[in-house]
Chain A
C-alpha cells in the first residue's frame, strides 16, 4: 500500500491503471495468481516497474515517472518482455 501511494505522487490514476495493465501484460508470469500479486500489490508493482525500467534502459527507480509511462504508451508487440 505505501508503495502505491508513492507511485501516485508521481502520476495520476489513469497512468497508474495504464501501468498496471502494461505490467500485467508484459511483465507478469501468466497463470500466476494475480490476486496473490495484488495482495502484495505495492512492492510487487514497484518491482515490476523496476524490471521494465531496467529492460528499457531507464533509471530503475520503481517510480512511475514521465519517461516510464511514456514508454508504456508506445505501440508495441504483444509478446511479454519477461518471456514465459
Chain B
C-alpha cells in the first residue's frame, strides 16, 4: 500500500458524506446503496463512521461529472479514467468524482459502481495506489462483488496505518477462523466449500438464513461478516437437517420450512404446531417434495420449484394459480441447472444452483450477476 506524501488523514473518526450529483445510468437508490457499501468496506476495517448528509457541505462530497469539471483533472469520456478522489483535507479534500460518461452498473455489465467507489473512498481516506495487484487500491479496474466483499490484506494494513484497527468491543465483525465447536460432535461443514450449494435460503425478519445439510448460517441482509454455521437442531429441533426449501411472508410474520412431503410454520424461530403436508398448497400427489421456494413480496405470490418446473401460489387467495406448473426455463432464462434454493432481496430474485448464485432482474427478465454461492456467507 502507499499513503499520500505527508500522510494526510482525517483528524476525526466520524465523517459526513453526500451525493450531490447522480448519474442517469443508475437509480438514486442504487447509487446510495453502492456508496454505503463502498464506505462500509473501510469502516469494517478501521474505527471510522460515515454519516450521510442530504444538504450542505460534507467532508466527502460525491458527484458524477463529465469532461472538464473544474478541478484541473478533466475526465476523458468512456473508459480510460473512471473516477478520482482527493486526499483528506478541507474543501476539495476527500471529494470523490465519477465520470458520468461511463456505463455504471450494480452488476457486471458495465463498470461496477461499488468496486470503483470503494477504491476511490480509499483515496478520500488517505490511501494512494498500491503496487499489489490483489489490492483494492491497485490503479486498474477489477470487478469486486459487494456480496461477500472482504478488504484485501494490503488495504487493511494501509487503512490501519492511518487510523489503527477497530477498537476491541466495537470489533468489526469477523468470521471466526474455527467455527464454534458443534455440540452434536461431528465436524462442522467446510464453511467456504466453494463446490456446494445451499438446500434452502430465506429471509427471516432482518436476517438471511442459508441451510445446508445439518447446518445453517444466518447473517444480516446487508452484511456478510459475523457469519458462521449453526446446527439446525439447535434452533429448529423438529427439522433435524436437510431442509428442502423455505420462505417467509414478512407481511404475516410467518415462515415456511419444507422437508419431503411435510412443512412447518414458524414465527421467527418459534415453531407453530406440528408438521403438515404440502398437499395443503394444492400440489398433486405426485409431488412428494419441492426443491426451492421464494416469496415475491410485491405480488404476494410464492413460487415453488420442483425439478425443471415451477408453480405460483397466491398467498392472498391461499391457492395455487391456474396454468401451472410451467417450465422454469420458459420464464427464468440464464439459470443453469436445477434450482436448489431461491430468495428475493431488494426486488431481485437470487437463484442458487450448485455452487453458483444467479441474480435475476425481473424487469430485464435476465440474469444480471453470477457469484459463488458461498460468497453469500462471507467467503
Residues facing B in A32-79 (CB within 8 A) are: 55-57, 71, 74-79
Q: Which of A26, A78, A84 contacts B83 (CB 8 A)?
A: A78
How many residue-residue contacts, CB under 8 A, span A and B?
A: 59
B129–A75 touching, CB < 8 Å: no
Find chain B residues with CB under 8 A from A25 CB: 81
Interface size range on A against B: 10 to 19
A78 nearest CB neighbor, chain B only: B84
Find chain B residues with CB under 8 A from A77 CB: 81-84, 116, 119-120, 123, 129, 139-141
A1 on interface, CB distance cutoff 8 Å: no
Q: Beyond A30-B72, A55-B131, A57-B133, is A79–B140 a contact (Cβ under 8 Å)? A: no
Q: Is the interface of B mostly helix, strand, loop or mixed?
A: loop
Q: Could you give, for residues 105-129 of chain B, a 1 whenever the CB lies within 8 Å of some chain A CB and a 0 otherwise? A: 0000001000010011001000011
A83–B4 touching, CB < 8 Å: yes
Find chain B residues with CB under 8 A from A71 CB: 140
Find chain B residues with CB under 8 A from A76 CB: 80-82, 139-141
B82 nearest CB neighbor, chain A only: A75
Find chain B residues with CB under 8 A from A74 CB: 140-141
Find chain A residues with CB under 8 A from B342 CB: none
B2 on interface, CB distance cutoff 8 Å: yes
Find chain B residues with CB under 8 A from A75 CB: 79-82, 111, 140-141
A79–B129 touching, CB < 8 Å: yes
Find chain A residues with CB under 8 A from B75 CB: 78
Q: Which of B79, B80, B84, B99 contacts A79 (CB 8 A)?
A: B84
